[in-house]
Amino acid sequence: MQGKVHPVAVFHESMKTRAVYPGTFDPVTNGHIDLIERSAKLFDSVVVAILKNSEKVPLFSIEERVEMLEVAVRRLKNVSVTTFDGLLVDLAERCGASVIVRGIRAVSDYEYELQMALMNRRLSKVETVFMLPAEAYSYLSSRLVKEISLLGGSVRGLVPPLVEKRLRSKYTGPKA
Ligand code: PNS
């Protein structure tokens, strides 16, 4: 066997699966992090892809969103962070991802997600995989986190520590 690669090893090598986890991440929440951790266990590598220009006007700049995500996923060695514009399926092809991961929190998410998944399937060969976050995060959203912060409530435990800090300085100034 010396010098030869076992056929099973070759099979495994060629079967490496990269997933892309796209979103606006304005800002990243612990619900997103939970899904990234689950995806990192399921796939060989995960590319977290932040949409640069969505129709929504973001609270955080693209640079701020990248930084907050990079810090939050630094410990996950098979996870990287990138940004994108244009079609998600084009990004998936560019980075060699065969899977798109999307989180479903409640039935209300399903209709929009189904529409997107079917459209992406029509546009490319990429498969969409729906994943469930931990129940504790099933009611969590970036929109609610921003609203709570704006109104002076605490988001501790709902977002990574750096996000909590950045939200505080957005709404009350850096010294708060
Ligand atoms: O976290 P979000 O805001 O729900 O993420 C939405 C996102 C970024 C996944 C979606 O808007 C997207 O894929 N945008 C890229 C443009 C695109 O490919 N549009 C066609 C989707 S069928």
pLDDT, tens digit (0-9, with 9 covering 90-100), for 74-127: 999 999 999 999 999 999 999 999 999 999 999 999 999 999 999 999 999 999
- Is residue 12 one of the residues assigned to a domain? no
Q: Ligand 1: residues within 6 Å at CB? A: 22-24, 51, 54, 87-88, 116, 119-120
The verdict on whether omega for the bond into residue 7 sits within 30 degrees of 0, i.e. cis, is no
- Is residue 145 one of the residues assigned to a domain? no
- Is residue 77 one of the residues assigned to a domain? yes
How many distinct structural domains can be found in the chain?
1
Residue range of the domain that includes 58: 17-138
Give the pLDDT confidence of 134-150 residue by residue, as tens digits. 999 999 999 999 999 99
Residue whose CA is at the smallest distance from ligand 1 atom 19: 87
Model confidence, pTM? 0.92
- Is residue 154 one of the residues assigned to a domain? no
- Is residue 29 one of the residues assigned to a domain? yes
**CA of 115, closest atom in ligand 1:** 22
Number of neighbours of residue 123 by Cβ within 10 angstroms = 13
CATH code of the domain covering residue 110: 3.40.50.620
pLDDT at 53: 82
**CA of 86, closest atom in ligand 1:** 16
How much helix, strand and coil, in percent to the nearest 5, is found in the chain? 45, 20, 35
Residue whose CA is at the smallest distance from ligand 1 atom 5: 23
Rounded to the nearest whole angstrom, what is the distance from the C-alpha of residue 174 to the centroid of ligand 1? 32
Whether residue 161 is predicted with pLDDT greater than 90 in this model: the reply is: yes
The band of 34, judged by pLDDT with boundaries at 50, 70 and 90, is very high
Whether residue 159 is predicted with pLDDT greater than 80 in this model: the reply is: yes
- Is residue 100 one of the residues assigned to a domain? yes
Rounded to the nearest whole angstrom, what is the distance from the C-alpha of residue 51 to the centroid of ligand 1? 7
- Is residue 8 one of the residues assigned to a domain? no
- Is residue 106 one of the residues assigned to a domain? yes
pLDDT at 121: 97
Query: How deeply is 22 buried, as exposed, middle or buried, from its count of CB atoms within 10 A (0-12, 13-18, 19+)?
Result: buried
